[in-house]
Amino acid sequence: MMIKRKTGRRIAAALVTMGAAAGMTGALAAPAAAADRTSGHFDIAAEVECDAFGEVSDVAVHVHEHVGGSEVELPAGDWLTFTGTSGPEVGFAVEAGESCGVLDVEFEPTPLDSSSTGGTLSGTGAAGSILASKTDASGSVVLDGSGHEDLTWSFNRTGTYLLTFDVTVNGSVSVLSEEVPLKRS
């Protein structure tokens, strides 16, 4: 009987130790704090998949960074931050599946999210220009199936600018992009 109690106590102690270690591991593995990304190359990328006949079957639009030849998703909470006229390169890209034929992809801004603290932003490039505020948005960037275009961005004042795009492929398939977190400090 005495051996069983000691064994039980040892098992209980081991479980408590393992639970504490698991808790510490979880704490150590917590996501990193949000960061202001003041450099780098980021794209608002339309990933287009097509069926065997070349018809668009799926479209997803997200923000990624180019790192060492790879594309890495922008971590939640990070901001693409501009100081004056300097900041990261932010543009648009189309990533088409192998079976896609000719593509025409249009990125149209929507009004800024109501939680944005900035005023008006604009972006210009060879493939188009955009303008967005909390109450209005206009313009577009149009790319073909292998297109890429970086824009020159400007902001009328400091603050945050949460921007989304209506993205239309070949005039018919339309999706909303994930939110693009821009900041002017």
User: What is the per-residue pLDDT for 6?
Assistant: 43
**47: pLDDT confidence band, cut at 50, 70 and 90?**
very high
CA 3/CA 122 separation, integer angstroms? 76
**141: pLDDT confidence band, cut at 50, 70 and 90?**
very high
Bridge partner list, 130: 123, 139
HSE-CB of 52 using CA atoms within 13 angstroms? 0
CA 113/CA 62 separation, integer angstroms? 17
CA 24 to chain centre: 30
Residue in the structure block whose two tokens are 């577009």: 140
User: What is the per-residue pLDDT for 33?
Assistant: 60
> Strand runs (DSSP E) across the chain, as ranges?
36-37, 41-50, 56-67, 70-73, 79-82, 89-96, 104-109, 121-125, 128-132, 137-144, 148-155, 159-163, 165-169, 173-176, 180-184
Per-residue pLDDT at 102 exceeds 80: yes
**61: pLDDT confidence band, cut at 50, 70 and 90?**
very high
